A and B are shown apart, each in its own frame.
Chain A
Amino acid sequence: MTRIALASTNGQTMTGECPETAPMSIRGMTVSYGQKPVVFSVDATFPEGSMTAIIGPNGAGKSTLLKASLGILRPLSGIVTVFGRPLNSQRHRIAYVPQRASVDWDFPTTVLDVVLMGLSRELGLLRLVRPRHRARALDCLTRVGMAEFADRQIGQLSGGQQQRVFLARALAQGADLYLLDEPFAGVDAATEKAIIAVLKTLRAEGKTVVSVHHDLSTVGDYFDRVLILNTSKIAEGPVADAFTEANLQAAYGGRLATAQVAGIPAAG
C-alpha cells in the first residue's frame, strides 16, 4: 500500500545515526487533510536511547506526523521503518500516549482497567485477566505515582492524573519506543515532574522517547534532540546543534516572542 517516496526536498543528510536500524525512521512523509498538506515531505530519524522533542507552532503538523508515523492516519506518501523493519511487524515494540483530550473521560472504566489495555496484545481475545496481570498494571501505576487511584472511575481524575494513567498504560506494554503527544499539556507541575522522571528512566534503560512538546523553555532540560517542524522539517538533531534561534525563527516566524528565545544559543 505504501508508495515509494522520492528523496526529501531539502536533501539533508543524516548526522551519523544509522537510519536503517533506528527505532523509528521516517522517509518522505506527506500527510494532508483534503488538498492541503499539513506535513510535507518530512524525513526524520529517532536514534536508539535518545529523547526527542517535536516542536513547532500550532498547526505545524506535529501530532499529525506522530499519528501518520503510527498508521493512525494514512499518509499520502512516506515510508516508516521501526527498528529497520516495517511498522506493522514491530507494533509490539511501540507504545503511544495520545492527547488526553482525545478520549471521553466519562467512559465507564476504571484506572486499572485502562492500564490493563496496555496488556491487550498479551491478553488477546480470550485470556482472562489474572492476578499477575493486575500486579503488573498496578506496578506501572506505582511508577507514575497513581497506585492509590487504581479503582477510581477515570472521570474523577484531574487532568494531570489522567495523563499519568495514559503513561502507565504505555509502560504496561513494555515497549522499546515511546511516542507521546503533548504529555505536558494542561498538567500540574507535580505531574510534569513525575512524567519527565519516568521518561528519563526509560532513556536510561536504553529506550527511545519521542514527544510532541510545546514549552520551548524546557526543551534543553528535558530532551537531548529536537525535530523542529512547520509543515516541512526546519531542523533535526541534538539540542545543542538544532535548537537555535535561527531555526526557531524559521519555524515560528513572528509568533516567537523574544522572551521565549532567551537562553537559547544564537549559534547555528
Chain B
Amino acid sequence: MLWQALTLQLGYNATLVAIGAILLGFAAGVTGTFLFLRRRALVSDAISHATLPGVGLAFIVMVALGGDGRNLAGLLAGSAVTAALGLLAVQWLTRRTRLAEDSAIGAVLSVFFGFGVVLLTVIQTMESGRQAGLDSLLLGSTAGMLRSDALLIAVGGALTLILTLILRRPMIMVAFDEDYAAALGLNIRQVDLATMGLVMAVTVVGLKVVGLILIVALLIIPPVTARFWTDRTERVWLLSGVIGGLSGFVGAAISASAPALPTGPIIVLTGFSVFAASLFLAPNRGVLAAVIRHVAFQRRVHVRQGLLALAHGQPIYERYTVRLLHRAGLSRPDGVATEAGRARAAKALLDEKRWEILRAMPDHEAAAALYDGMRPIETVVTRDQLAEIDTHLAAPQEVPA
C-alpha cells in the first residue's frame, strides 16, 4: 500500500493530493529560505498560530449564513485575515514599542492561539460543529481530502512559489545588506512585508496538509538543511524547495496508506531525517567534517611543534606528539629524530626563519598577516620574493656595533 502510494498508484485523488503536497512543500522550502536568510524564521510561528481564530470565525460565519462551515476555501480565507492581523501586530509591537521581536512573537502567538482554541471549543458545542473536523487543521490530514481541496492547495502552492521567485532578488538584497538595498532605493519595509505575506500565504495554503502547529517546521527545516550543502543563494533555495517537496510527498503518501496518521508530523519527521543526515554528513559544514578537520589540524600542529622542538634540540613533552612523529617515521619511539625527521625538522626551522624575515618587511604586510605557524611560506609569496627573503637569510649575522 505504501509502495503504491509512493509510486502514485492509488488513483486520481491520491495523486492529486500528492501533487498538492509536493507543490506546497516546494513553495514552503523556497519561501522559508528567504525568511531564514533574513533571520526572522520565528515570525512564521506567530503567523501560523494566528491563523486559528480566523478558522474558527470563518466556520461560525459560514454556518450563520447557512452554508457549509467546512468549506476549505472559506476557512483559509478566514485564517488569512487573522494571520495578517497577527503579523501586523508583531510588526507594530516591534517598531513602536520597546519590545524585542522575540517577545512580540511570543505575546502575539499565545494570545491569538488561545483565542482560537476558545473559538474551537465554542464550535464543538454548536450543533453543526460536532463533525466539523476543524482539529485536523492543527496537525494536518490529507486522508479523505476533497478533489477541490487538493486542487486549491496545488494552485495556491504554485502561485506562492511563482511570486516568491519573482521577488527573490530584492529579498536577497535586503537579507544580505539592508543598508545597501536601501541606498539603491528599495523600500525595506515593503520588501519585508512582502516576504512575510508570502510566508503567510504558504501557511494558509498548508493548513490542511501540514497543520498550523507544524507548518513552521516546513518553512525552517528545508533551508537550514540546504545550507549545509551549498554556499550559493540560488542553490540554497532550490535545494530547500526539493527537500520541502520531498517531505510533502512522503507525508502525503504515508498518510494515504495509513489514514489515521496525521500528515503534519510525518512531513516534519521526513524533513528532519534529511536535516539530521545533512547535519552529520555534509562535506563542509557538517559536524563529522568539522571533527575530522579539527583532528587532522591538531595532528599537523603537533607534528610541526615536534619538528621545531627537534630542530632546536629541545625535548618533546607531549606523548601524543612523539607518537605522531614515530608513526610518521620522523622519530624513534623515545623521541629521537630519524634521518627523515632531521630533514623535515631542518625544513621547518628554515620556514620559521623565512617567516620571521617576511614579517619584518613592511612591504609584505598582507602576506605577513597570514602567518599562523602552520602555513607554508611558499603559498603566500612568489618565488622571486622567496629568493629575496633568502638573501637576508644568507647575510652574515653580525652583532651590530
A binds B: yes
Write the residues of chain A forming the contact surface with B, with a CB cutoff of 8 angstroms: 67, 70-72, 88, 91, 94, 96, 98, 102-104, 107-110, 113-114, 117, 120-121, 123, 125-126, 153, 155, 158, 160, 169, 179, 188-191
8 pairs across A/B with beta carbons < 8 Å? A72-B182, A96-B179, A107-B233, A113-B233, A117-B173, A125-B167, A125-B169, A126-B166
Are B232 and A109 closer than 8 Å at their CB atoms? yes
Partner of B180 from the list A98, A113, A155 (CB cut-off 8 Å) is A98
- Determine whether B395 belongs to the interface, using a CB cutoff of 8 Å to chain A: no
Question: When the two chains form their complex, are residues A109 and B365 in contact, meaning their CB atoms are under 8 A apart?
Answer: no
Q: What is the CA–CA distance of A88 and B182 in the complex, to the nearest angstrom?
A: 11
Task: State A107–B233 Cα separation when bound (angstroms).
Answer: 8
- Asked if A188 and B365 sit within 8 Å, CB to CB, the answer is yes
A91 partner residues in chain B, CB cutoff 8 A? 183-185
| Proximity string of chain B (164-196) to chain A, C-beta cutoff 8 Å, 1 when within and 0 when not | 001101101101111110111100000000000
**Contacts A72-B179, A102-B179 hold; do A108 and B169 have CB atoms under 8 A apart?**
no
Tell me if B365 and A98 are in contact (CB < 8 A): no
Q: Is the CB of B169 within 8 A of A107?
A: no
* Across-interface contacts of B172 in A (CB, < 8 A): 109
Q: B236: which A residues are within 8 A, CB to CB?
A: 108
B179 in contact with A113 (CB, 8 Å):
no
Instruction: Knowing A71-B182, A94-B183, A96-B183 are in contact, say whether A189-B176 is a contact too (CB < 8 A).
Output: no
Q: Which of A72, A109, A126 contacts B183 (CB 8 A)?
A: A72
A197 CB → nearest B CB, Å? 15
Bound state CA distance, A126 and B231, in angstroms? 23
* Number of A-B contacts defined by CB within 8 Å: 79
**B175 adjacent to A107 (CB under 8 Å):** yes
A113 to B183, CA, bound (A): 18
A108-B232 in contact (CB<8A): yes
Contact call B179/A98, Cβ cutoff below 8 A:
yes
Asked if B366 is an interface residue, CB under 8 A from chain A, the answer is yes
Shortest Cβ distance from A154 into B: residue: B231
Residue numbers in B under 8 Å from A188 (CB-CB): 365-366, 369
- Asked whether any CB of chain A lies closer than 8 Å to the CB of B336, the reply is no
**Is B208 in the interface zone, CB < 8 Å from A?**
no
Q: How far is the CA of A71 from the CA of B37 in the complex (A)?
A: 24
Q: A107-B175, A109-B233, A190-B365 are in contact. Are A70 and B182 (CB under 8 A)?
A: yes
In contact, B173 and A120 (Cβ under 8 angstroms): yes
Interface residues of B in 359-373 (CB under 8 A from A): 365-366, 369
SS class of chain B's interface: helix, strand, loop or mixed? helix
Residues of A within 8 A of B232 (CB): 108-110, 113
A-B contact sample (6 more), CB < 8 A, given A98-B180, A102-B179: A91-B184, A104-B176, A113-B232, A120-B184, A125-B170, A188-B365
B231 near A88: Cβ-Cβ < 8 Å: no
Measured between alpha carbons, how far is A71 from B185 in the docked complex, in Å? 8
> Considering the complex, which residues of chain B in the window 211-238 have a beta carbon less than 8 Å from any beta carbon of chain A?
227, 230-233, 235-236
A191 vs B367: C-alpha distance when bound (angstroms)? 12
A120, chain B: closest CB distance, angstroms: 6
Q: How large is the interface on B (under 10, 10 to 19, 20 to 34, 35 or more residues)?
A: 20 to 34
Q: Whole-angstrom distance from the CB of B235 to the nearest CB of chain A?
A: 8
**Do the beta carbons of A96 and B180 come within 8 Å of each other?**
yes
A155 CA to B231 CA, complexed, in Å: 10
Cβ of A238 to closest chain B Cβ, rounded Å: 27
> 1/0 per residue B76-109: CB within 8 Å of A?
0000000000000000000000000000000000
With contacts A108-B227, A108-B233 taken as known, whether A121 is within 8 angstroms of B176 at the C-beta atoms is no
Contact with A along B146-169 (1 / 0, CB 8 A): 000000000000000000001101
Once the chains bind, are A102 and B166 in contact (CB under 8 Å)?
no
- Closest chain-B Cβ to A133's Cβ sits at a distance in Å of 13
A125 and B169 CA atoms in complex are apart in Å by 6
Residue contact A98 to B177, C-beta cutoff 8 Å: yes
Q: Given A107-B37, A189-B366 in contact, is the A117-B180 Cβ separation under 8 Å?
A: yes
Docked pose: A235 CA to B231 CA in angstroms: 46
Contact of A103 among B166, B169, B177 (CB under 8 A): B177
Of the candidates A117, A125, A191, the one whose C-beta lies within 8 Å of that of B166 is A125
Residue numbers in B under 8 Å from A190 (CB-CB) = 365-366
CB-CB under 8 A from A113, the residues of chain B are 232-233
Inter-chain CA distance A71–B179, complex, in Å, is 10
Q: A112 to B180, alpha carbons, bound, how many Å?
A: 16
A153 contacts B365, C-beta separation under 8 Å: no
Contact residues in B for A189 (Cβ distance below 8 Å):
365-366
Q: For chain B, residues 37 to 69, give those with C-beta under 8 angstroms from any C-beta of chain A.
A: 37
Which residue of chain B is the closest to A191 with respect to CB atoms? Answer: B366
Chain B residues, CB < 8 A from A160: 366
Which residues in B have their C-beta under 8 angstroms from that of A158?
366, 369
Smallest CB–CB gap between B11 and chain A, Å?
Answer: 38
Task: List the B side residues contacting A94 at CB < 8 Å.
Answer: 183
CB distance from A102 to the nearest CB of B (A): 6
- Would A121 and B179 count as touching, CB distance under 8 A? no
Closest 4 CB pairs of A and B: A96-B183, A153-B231, A188-B366, A91-B185
